[in-house]
Structure 1
Amino acid sequence: MSSLRSSELDGDSDDSQLAAKFWEVKLPDVVPLDDLKAIEKTQAAEVIQRAWFSHMDKIIFQLLKHTICAAENCVTHEILKKVCPSEAALVKDPSVQCKVRFRFGGKNFPPFIVFKIFLHTGGHGNKYFSGKNTLRPSSEAVVDACKLMGNRKYYDQIIQDQLQFQKYKVADEVDVVTMKDYMHFTSFLDETPAYLGGKSNCWRRLSLENFPKTMIMYDIMDYATSGTLSDRLQKELKYLLQKPKSKEMHHDQLRIVSQVRHWG
């Protein structure tokens, strides 16, 4: 009995040791005071850095807002002349009721500026003609088009039409059933190239070279892309960053951004 009890006691002691090892928690080493202060300084520096970057992003965005407003209301024709002179002449024609819209684009900051030309018809609507919606199947015009284009090019066009339908589902007037379909169809026509039966009037991106160098808006775009702050922009920066208290002040800010300056 005594030997049995001793073995049982030995077993109990082994179990208690295993349990102690199982529940043992390793405490982390104590961080020295100097290292703790260094960590706190690093975290504080990161907070200050994030706040500074956020402040600079707000400055750039405010300047870009002035640029896009000035581009749409003051210097539309000058910008279009650099992008496409023929379209600039068309927009300036008083018989053609056009409006150029500017927007921000891109997934990253700072955004880039895009533009698109809209045609106002005064509620009367317009008709866009293209070979795709004018020439119908089983007509002599289609046969003549096939002869002029050649079989290879004609078949490629048919394949492209089928691929567009599979991708967009609303690629022709006969596919329009609801108002939502109509909106998708008009957007599809704008983005489709002219050689595929579209209007080729999508949102187009502006580069730094498209802005007049004689205006501060060029310096703003350069500052947004390269981070270089020019002297003439620095002189007007404080006033441009102020929140306009009236329409007159807002117009004055746009005037400063779009004013032609010949500085040495």
Structure 2
Amino acid sequence: MSRSMKTSVTGVPKSENPALGKGPKVPLSNTVKTKGKQQNKDISAYRIQRAWLSHLDKTMFQLLKHTICAAEHHVTYEILKKVSPLEAELVKDPCMKCKVRFRFSGEKFPPFIVFKIFLQTEGHGYKYFSGKKLLKPSSEAVVDVCKIMGKKKFYHQIMEDERLFQKFKITDEIDIVTLKDYMQYSSLLDETPASSGGRNNYWRRLNLENIPRTMIMYDIVDYAETGIISNRLKKEMKYLLQRPKTEEIHQRQLQIVSEVRRPSCFSSLHPLYRPYQQQSQIKHLGRRSKQAQMKVEKMKKAYKMAKEKDASAGTEPQKDIPGPKVNHPLHPIF
């Protein structure tokens, strides 16, 4: 009875070693530790990545800041001359008292640079003449304008004015009540084209085409757009990223950014004139047929043979050629 009680209910005897039928047990604490370590590594890598990207953004912003300051104080005329030569001449005129301002714009980083021309009137104000203000609706001049412009273009202008009024609510001097309204009206005039009665003096974007290539300013803007650093910018990067402790250091940084330098490609160019010896050493590359090569070799051989004959003829001694005897009057002939 004792043996039958020890046997299992199914009739299969139990094995003596209970560990043979079961796999090794893995403690849960080890899996939790490995997952925790992996998460800590990911968090650390993420922090390092964020710190490095933040450092790059700060570097980029500092370089762009130097570019704006240098463009506004040193190379305004050179930049504006490439954008619009007529406006550059007006800015250069001391009677106009114009000021070009630069600033950042854009919705993403890195920002792009925009510029705008301001006229300093010293509190006297200025006035723009446009047909939209001078011509009254009830005058005969408006009828003549409609005939000259054509009905389609005239009606389009009226509809455009109505659209701007519905959008901004302040599109005429009559709508101005407060100082805020005046600033909004002035900004709208700057953005409105001259054909519609505006000033056409909006914030314009500064592209690489408007910056001279001989300046580091070009390399900085190119680095902001493409992310590629030039060798010329790498050399000056350490000094440009320093915090200027004095005004002299700041001016020196702006001078480096706006300084006109000789392009590196010019140093590798050779002069057009070459001495005769150097010209003879140059081998003309090109494809020639076998017949042409054989003709050239024959001509060279013939030229060498003719040259050797001339040289041998010049080195031979000259023989006495017999000729008639001449009787000298002082010596008698025997």
With the length of structure 2 as denominator, give the TM-score of the two structures: 0.69
Q: Could you tell me how far 1:32 is from its partner in structure 2?
A: 4.3
Structure of higher CA gyration radius: 2
CA distance in 2, matches of 1:79, 1:145: 39
Deviations 1:157-186 (A, max 9, x none): 111111111111110111112211111110
One-letter amino acid matched to 2:196: L
CA distance in 2, matches of 1:162, 1:146: 17
CA distance in 1, matches of 2:31, 2:106: 45
1:82 maps to: 82
CA distance in 2, matches of 1:109, 1:257: 21
Indicate whether 1:34 and 2:49 are aligned: no
One-letter amino acid matched to 1:149: M
1:223 maps to: 223
CA distance in 1, matches of 2:107, 2:93: 35
CA distance in 1, matches of 2:105, 2:119: 22
Question: Structure 1 stretch 108-117 or stretch 75-84: which is displaced more?
Answer: 75-84
Alignment of 1:1-264 (within 5 A): 31-264=31-264
Partner SS for 1:121: coil
CA distance in 1, matches of 2:147, 2:227: 57
Q: Could you tell me how far 1:30 is from its partner in structure 2?
A: 7.8
Task: Indicate the structure whose relative CO is greater, using CA pairs within 8 Å and at least 6 residues apart.
Answer: 1
RMSD value, Cα: 1.5
CA distance in 1, matches of 2:91, 2:80: 9
CA, structure 1 residues 31+129, in 2 after alignment: closer, same or farther (shift >3 Å)?
A: farther
What count of residue pairs does the alignment treat as equivalent?
237
One-letter amino acid matched to 1:202: Y
Which runs of no fewer than 5 residues in structure 2 stay unpaired?
1-27, 265-334
One-letter amino acid matched to 2:263: W
Partner SS for 1:101: strand
Q: Could you tell me how far 1:122 is from its partner in structure 2?
A: 2.1
Q: Could you tell me how far 1:121 is from its partner in structure 2?
A: 1.3
Q: In percent, how many aligned pairs have the same letter?
A: 63
Deviations 1:138-168 (A, max 9, x none): 0011111111111111111111111111111
